[in-house]
């Protein structure tokens, strides 16, 4: 009779530590690349004013060109904000969530990758 499970496994170890198994590190790398969602959120400003934010665009889309198309199509103002944590975020005035999601789906982004948040 031999003991097979002598290697200790720490479930709270960071991925890449020597205590975490290599299979787990490879799985998390794959899932982080696959689950690249486009997030569309709404934020309340003052009064009835709202701000729609779009983040997580795939690299093959140019944010400046998309912003220009959004502004022309939706007749609203917008800006491109560089965030350290989130990358480039597109901000549009007003509640443009449904319009943005339909636009992105028509451009070829799969519907299951577009996540619409908000009230």
Mean pLDDT of the chain: 82
Question: Structural domain tally of the chain?
Answer: 1
Domain that residue 48 falls in: 38-117
Q: What is the CATH number of the domain that holds 71?
A: 3.30.780.10
Tokens of 64: 């400046």
* Per-residue pLDDT at 2: 59
Any domain includes 45? yes
Any domain includes 55? yes
DSSP states of 34-70: H--PEEEEEEE-STT-EEEEEE---TTS-HHHHHHHH
Model's pTM, two decimal places? 0.69
32-81 pLDDT, tens digit each: 445 589 999 999 999 999 999 999 999 899 999 999 999 999 999 999 99
Question: Which of 5 and 66 is assigned the larger pLDDT?
Answer: 66
């Amino acid at each position: 009779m031999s003991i097979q499970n002598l290697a200790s496994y720490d479930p709270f170890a960071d991925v890449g530590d020597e205590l975490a198994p290599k299979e787990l590190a490879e799985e998390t790398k794959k899932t982080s690349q696959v689950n690249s969602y486009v997030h569309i959120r709404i934020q309340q400003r003052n009064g009835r004013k709202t701000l729609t934010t779009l983040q997580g665009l795939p690299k093959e889309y140019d944010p400046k060109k998309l912003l220009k198309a959004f502004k022309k199509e939706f007749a609203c103002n917008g800006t491109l904000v560089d965030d350290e944590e989130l990358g480039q975020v597109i901000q549009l005035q007003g509640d443009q969530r449904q319009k943005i999601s339909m636009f992105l789906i028509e451009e070829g982004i799969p519907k299951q990758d577009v996540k619409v948040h908000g009230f």
